[in-house]
Structure 1
Amino acid sequence: MRKLPALAGLAVALAAGAALLVYAPGEPEPAPGARVALAAAWPGAQRADLPGNLPDGPIYHPGIFLDARTSVGTAPSPDGDAERLLVRDADGTVRELRRRPLPSSPEFGTFAVSGDDLVWTESAGGAKPEIWTAKTTGGPARRLTGDTGNAVFFGSQWDLVVADGRVHWAAAAPAGEQVTEIRSVALAGGAVAVRKEPGTWALTAWPWLTDGGGDQAGTTRLRNMATNRDIPVTSTGTELVTCAVAWCRVLVMNGDGLARIDLMHPDGSARRRVAGSSAGAAVPDVAVLDRFEILSETGPDSDLTGTAGLLVYDIRAGRTVDLSPAVDGVFSRNGVLWWATGDQDSLVWHTVDLRTV
């Protein structure tokens, strides 16, 4: 089972901070007060606890949720011969979209949804990923394109963006050019369009790009592709900043490593402290739905158990919501947050639809 990404992400952040030899600036707003339990904080939110195994036996890994109970994900076939892409409905019934033979090492991933249009990447045998689509309401899957270039995916909900009737993704330019290709294909199919943007960019909420993906320098600019306007990100230069359009996550370091995590707008305004030195980003995306910062919190046994606590800082309410003391996998797409507890024999997927908070 895929382990909690926050632990690895925190290690990367600490290493980056050490390399930059940065030190903490002055304190922003005080840290949030006492934590609130999930049920008390969001009593009306749609939630679910779902068995990790399908009725036919194999473990199921959700790739995206349409609501708190309906998802698209993967599981091997009961005979172990194939990997399947499945729709798991709210009543537990399962519909197969695709299957690929396991010896070809198939991968289904990088999911996105818009309305009843589901899109994903699919690859096998070490080949470049293809982009496929299907209606969430039923019907066959169909390939949109195999012309994906040197596609670059960061594990973000914005790796594939569906907008204006097209699927968009970023790709590295060939021959080592310092250019990012923003590629797209119509949902109806057809030729791939390529727009070249000088520099290294990643997609975020359409039509924006963010620079510095995977770079120790972090985010320094946001670019609006519709207006060709750049917005600089305000930073002291002594912290690691990762931005979306509305909010930036700031890892503030001191001589011992991570000192705290702040949030701020890209222009540096509304800065606030949201977590201390034991926290980390549980998902790559900053401020899901422009409101929820998803955090992990390591404990004394995290290195041994591979688990960590799961927290959500609610920007609008200015408080921290305690979701679980020990989780082993955290994911967020399409406004739904989900996480795993248990082990191979007792796996449970827990969800909360943040759109219903």
Structure 2
Amino acid sequence: MSRARPWIGVVVALAAAGALLAGTIPEAPQPAPAAGARITVEQAWPDADRADLKDLSVEPVHFLDASTAVGTVTSGGRVKLFIERDGIARELRDLPADDDPRFEAMTSAGDRLFWAESVNGKPVEIWTVGRDGASPRRLTVDTGNTLFYGNQHDLVVAEGRVHWVAGEGDATTQVRSIATGGGKVTVREVKGQWALSAWPWLTDDSGGQSGTVRMLNLDDGRTVAVPFSGAEWGMCGPSWCRVSVMTGEGTARLDLMRPDGSQRRRVAGTDTQAAVNDVAVLDRFEILSVPGPNADLTGTAALLVHDLETGRDVPLAVAADLAATKDGMLWWSTGGAEAPVWHTLDLRTI
């Protein structure tokens, strides 16, 4: 059974964290050179692959590239999964809507797409298909009690295998994997409650926490502990940590730093929030949102990317509804639920 977290909308609520973590705010670190200088996406990255998809027929759950969406259509009591490009959609799966089918943890590697599929009352299954959408096939039903957190590392493809975590309670985590071509599932047990991070790392939290965030390297057994003060809320990957500095009013600012505490820099002030769970996508891009005065009513916020390499903020949208990242792709919607326009930016091409 999956313990799933939905996509994080561009308005990330941290009010509860602010109430818990009220305290003295540490002195702000010095900003990175040229931080806050904003230019258009066309000026910043003229050669990046981007798209504005006005007539997308699916509800996207993943993008393979700027113009190729993987998504669902619900109609006639069925939920269907498609790959769609240039208005041409190829059906991958067709399941009864009454079974509440879910397609989670999608990721791509090379020319293949992988995902976890679940329906009521049955074990989670791992599936794969080529980018052309031909002949999808199930890899395994031997998945255990899967733990998915709605981030880019729920399924990780590395070393020729698909990896995920499973478990019951917080005593032990199972790191499970299967060869990308199928075969027997291997299970490695690790003491404690962990989530996958960038391979071969695990993290003991994927939703942000105070105190200490720990990471474990599965290859060499090395553990890294990243401490945070009582007024800070942290999330970490092996390369960067996001630090939300809190007051009783909410978030005072966002910083990024290395897990050893070095290279700390301010990336956003009071009015700016993290737009997605994923920290420093591709070890370079922090995705941020700026809620306006009517954000509670509209459900929208301005969306921007902070480039750690240049220190610049690059605006993407004045009023975005949703934002998500996976495999170096960033996508967001505008126009509301009735007439959404989906926008994509392939961060891998920058």
Asked whether the two chains share a fold, i.e. TM above 0.5, the reply is yes
Deviations 1:70-97 (A, max 9, x none): 12111124xx2311111112x2211111
Work out which of the residue numbers 65, 71, 75 in structure 1 matches 2:73.
Answer: 75
Secondary structure in 2 matching 1:28: coil
Aligned length: 343
1:1-357 equivalences under 5 Å are 5-7=9-11, 9=12, 11=13, 13-30=14-31, 32-54=35-57, 60-77=58-75, 80-89=76-85, 91-173=86-168, 176-214=169-207, 216-217=209-210, 220-357=213-350
The answer for the alignment partner of 2:3 in structure 1 is: none
Distance 1:66 1:187 in 2: 18
How big is the alpha-carbon RMSD for the aligned residues of Structure 1 and Structure 2?
Answer: 1.8
Secondary structure in 1 matching 2:29: coil
Paired residue type of 2:82: L
Q: Which runs of 5+ in 1 are unaligned?
A: 55-59
The answer for the alignment partner of 1:57 in structure 2 is: none
Report the CA distance between 1:34 and its aligned residue: 3.1
Q: Which runs of 5+ in 2 are unaligned?
A: 1-5
In the alignment, is the contact (CA less than 8 A) between 1:121 and 1:129 conserved in 2? Answer: yes
Distance 2:208 2:7 in 1: 23
| Greater than 4 Å deviation, 4+ residue runs | none
Report the CA distance between 1:237 and its aligned residue: 4.3
Cα distance 1:239–1:177, how it changes in 2: closer, same or farther (>3 A)? closer
Distance 2:211 2:99 in 1: 36
Distance 1:76 1:218 in 2: 43
Distance 2:220 2:126 in 1: 28
Secondary structure in 1 matching 2:10: helix
Distance 1:320 1:348 in 2: 23
Report the CA distance between 1:115 and its aligned residue: 0.3
Paired residue type of 1:17: G
Report the CA distance between 1:107 and its aligned residue: 1.2
Paired residue type of 2:53: L
Cα distance 1:104–1:308, how it changes in 2: closer, same or farther (>3 A)? same
Deviations 1:29-88 (A, max 9, x none): 13723322212211111110012542xxxxx222221211012111124xx231111111
In the alignment, is the contact (CA less than 8 A) between 1:219 and 1:242 conserved in 2? Answer: no
Paired residue type of 1:69: S
Cα distance 1:82–1:219, how it changes in 2: closer, same or farther (>3 A)? farther
In the alignment, is the contact (CA less than 8 A) between 1:3 and 1:306 conserved in 2? Answer: no
The TM-score with structure 2 as length reference comes to 0.93
Distance 1:23 1:237 in 2: 8
In the alignment, is the contact (CA less than 8 A) between 1:83 and 1:100 conserved in 2? Answer: yes
Deviations 1:232-290 (A, max 9, x none): 21433431110111110000012322100000000111101011112221111100000
Distance 2:326 2:158 in 1: 16
Paired residue type of 2:106: F
Distance 1:75 1:83 in 2: 6
Paired residue type of 2:70: V
In the alignment, is the contact (CA less than 8 A) between 2:173 and 2:194 conserved in 1? Answer: yes
Distance 1:142 1:219 in 2: 41
The TM-score with structure 1 as length reference comes to 0.91
